[in-house]
Amino acid sequence: ASTGRGWRSTGRWERRRSAGEKTGPNPTDRGKSGTKRSLLTDGRGVPLGLALAGANRNDHKLMRETVEAVPVERPAPTPEAPQGLCLDKGYDYEEPRALAAEFGFTLHLRTRGEEREAKRHAGAKARRWVVERTHSWLNRFRRVLVRWEKRPDAYLAMLHFALGLITWRHASLPG
């Protein structure tokens, strides 16, 4: 039955297919709609900043939004206490390098060929696992793992709630 507004009414048990804003075709999942979460953590894995975009957006395009999403004021980096920024090879472009210099970070970035060589040498210290562990903690929240909310502000609120719980749990750990 047509309602006259240009769209058809769905049946009683059918769900509308719209995925909401800040979603995009996921290149690794047969083009299904997906969301990319860009997360900034401290050295222990406590979440600091978060940005959302469609799954088809490049990582390095979200870097400015992620760094600016930190809600607390950062202390100024000094030569005695520099602030490092560890990135993977998805950020191996000129734009993230300039952005790290603009925000005063000491950049730790493996280039595309360098990352393959580092895996062969066992003495190198891995740093990226801290962010991956925080993403794993975030995926334990079922409401966040599968995006049910169509509005990006509702999904962002759920992400902030989950990250708040992660931070609260992390504060009670020793160390």
Point out the least confidently predicted range of 21-35, 37-51, 112-126: 112-126
Give the ranges where 25-124 is alpha helix by DSSP (H).
63-68, 94-103, 112-120
CB 156 within 8 A of CB 39: no
Q: Which residues contact 127 (CB under 8 A, 6 or more apart)?
A: 86, 108
Residue whose pair of structure tokens reads 């334990």 in the numeric block: 140
pLDDT in tens, 77-106: 888 888 888 888 888 889 999 999 999 998
Average pLDDT over residues 106-125: 69
Looking at every residue in the chain, the average pLDDT score rounds to 80
pLDDT at 99: 93
